[in-house]
């Protein structure tokens, strides 16, 4: 008989499997992680590992093309649409940014 390990509920499996970055990482690092993971989005987590947002490649590329961009801007400094309490330069919505090819 083979012992089985408990499986997490289906809803948390997808979130745990999604690539994630920490909120204190820079936009450049997040783009590099996306490229390495070959994904178009990342889950953003705070220092306690809690999900604080979701960011797409198009949003970050659009922000990087804006006048507010510097290579020192951290994800925690950006305003994410799903976290309205944050201040900082807004991320463009995916429909405002041409898709990068």
- pLDDT tens by residue, 2-39: 555 554 444 455 555 679 999 999 999 999 999 999 99
| Prediction pTM value | 0.65
- pLDDT tens by residue, 53-66: 899 999 999 999 99
Q: Which two tokens stand for residue 99?
A: 């898709």
Query: What residue has token string 């970050």?
Result: 60
- The dihedral of CA 32, 38, 39, 45: what is its sign? negative
């Amino acid at each position: 008989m083979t012992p089985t390990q408990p499986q997490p509920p289906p809803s948390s499996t997808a979130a745990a499997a999604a690539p994630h970055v920490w909120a204190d990482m820079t936009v450049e690092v997040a783009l590099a992680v996306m490229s390495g993971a070959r994904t178009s989005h990342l889950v953003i987590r705070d220092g306690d590992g809690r999900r604080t947002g979701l960011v797409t490649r198009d949003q970050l590329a659009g922000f990087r093309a804006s006048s507010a961009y510097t290579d020192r801007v951290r994800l925690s400094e950006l305003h994410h649409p799903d976290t309205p309490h944050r201040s900082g330069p807004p991320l463009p919505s995916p429909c405002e940014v041409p898709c990068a090819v």
